[in-house]
Amino acid sequence: MNTPYKPGTPCWIDLMVPDQQAALDFYRDLFGWQGEVGPPETGGYAVCTLKGKPVAGIMKAMNPDGTVPDPMPPTVWTTYLATDDIDGTVKSVTDAHGTIMMGPMDVMDLGRMSVIVDPTGAVVGLWQAGTFEGAGIVNEHGALIWNELSTPDVPAASAFYSAVLPVTTTPSEMPGAEGYIEFQVAGRTVGGMMDNATLPPGTPPHWQPYFSVDDVDDIQAAAVRAGGTVLAPAFDMAAGRMAVLADPQGGPFSVIAASTPEQPA
């Protein structure tokens, strides 16, 4: 990625886990990432890299005062959507019946962030870039290729995201993807959305990252050997071959060997 992410485009992901070093080790071995626990002034936040470019963040779950949360929050990946006016975007979130989990805050000179909850219950981050734009490499083995929202109310989610960011939603025209919705920015597909009625009962609304891999079956086997679990075994679908996995601390993610060119996530 050599240009800034357009507002509304997924631009970054990070993971909050009880055991940060174990997560760094798992994703290093699985995808070839490099990363280490960061300095105290950043709360130890680790920026993982691939080929020298940032691809994801991993942080230890902790309260703002540095204490260990009790109960521990679920281990999940957070997707961040780009905005060029985070204060204005956050104001529009409440106007559009979303809620604010974490209000806008400066992250040194890197940018400004916020975490919100859409009206259907899915948590998503917002990022206004300063010196840090977001993922520096996408659509290659071990890097982000797609971000997908699973929601119980597709029309409500479509209306919300279109109200708070310059995104539109449109039914996918990909053969075999009937009912699937695409998020578009300036006419370019940047992510997807599906009804979570097709998922196991009790699955909460969520955004999930997809990582590009050369061989889904090999990655699935490697994840299991490293203590991960398989949520949906490797299968062929409209966009390629994919699997849904969880890391040893329960963080779910998808991997895909895309059969058609996907847009940067």
**Which pair of tokens denotes residue 122?**
């899915």
Query: 151: burial class by Cβ within 10 Å (0-12, 13-18, 19+)?
Result: buried
Strand order of the β-sheet with 206-212 is 168-171, 181-185, 188-195, 144-151, 206-212, 252-258, 240-246, 229-237
The predicted structure's pLDDT at residue 263:
45
Residue 167 pLDDT class (50, 70, 90 cuts): very high
More confident residue, 71 or 118: 118
Q: Please give the model's pTM, rounded to 2 decimal places.
A: 0.95
Q: Compute φ and ψ for 163, nearest 5 degrees.
A: -80, -30
Segment 29-58, tens digit of pLDDT: 999 999 999 998 888 999 999 999 999 999
What separation in angstroms does the CA of 195 have from each of 33, 191, 204, 207? 32, 14, 11, 12
What share of the chain has pLDDT > 90, as a percent?
83
Q: Lowest-pLDDT range, 62-66, 85-89, 114-118?
A: 62-66
**Mean pLDDT for the chain overall:** 94
What separation in angstroms does the CA of 168 have from each of 105, 155, 225? 27, 12, 41
Question: Tokens 């990022």 map to which residue?
Answer: 127
Neighbours of 123 (CB within 10 A): 18
Distance CA 180, CA 37 (A): 38
